[in-house]
Amino acid sequence: MNAFGGAAVHRKAAFPASLRQVCRNVTRWHDATMALRWTAAGMLEAAKGFRRLKAHKQLPILKAALLRHREADPATGVDHTAAAA
């Protein structure tokens, strides 16, 4: 079990299966926009099974604490001024 609960890994593995389930009857892909539409439909269908992150209201507090910790520990050797990727 990870920090987000066991469902996080399971959902990542089940997403492609949800997409295949939605797109299973398409026999002919006409163009890229059609593929994008069906992929979006599959993502919306898969999202119905996602669980909400518990304690999501505390995420801003966690972010502030991590930023304070990062600024307080300059010995890590990490360039904190660099833009995040």
**3: DSSP letter:** T
- pLDDT, tens digit, 9 for 90 and up, residues 9-37: 455 667 788 788 888 888 888 898 998 89
Instruction: For residue 42, name the pLDDT band (cuts at 50, 70, 90).
Output: confident
pTM: 0.44
Residues 6+ apart with CB under 8 A from 4: 53
CA 69 centroid distance within chain: 25
Residues 6+ apart with CB under 8 A from 29: 35
Cα-based distances in Å from 27 to 30, 34, 56: 10, 12, 41
Q: Is the pLDDT of residue 67 over 70?
A: yes
SS3 letters for 8-41? Answer: HHHHHHHHHHHHHHHHCCCCCCCCHHHHHHHHHH
Q: What pLDDT is stored for residue 73 in this prediction?
A: 65
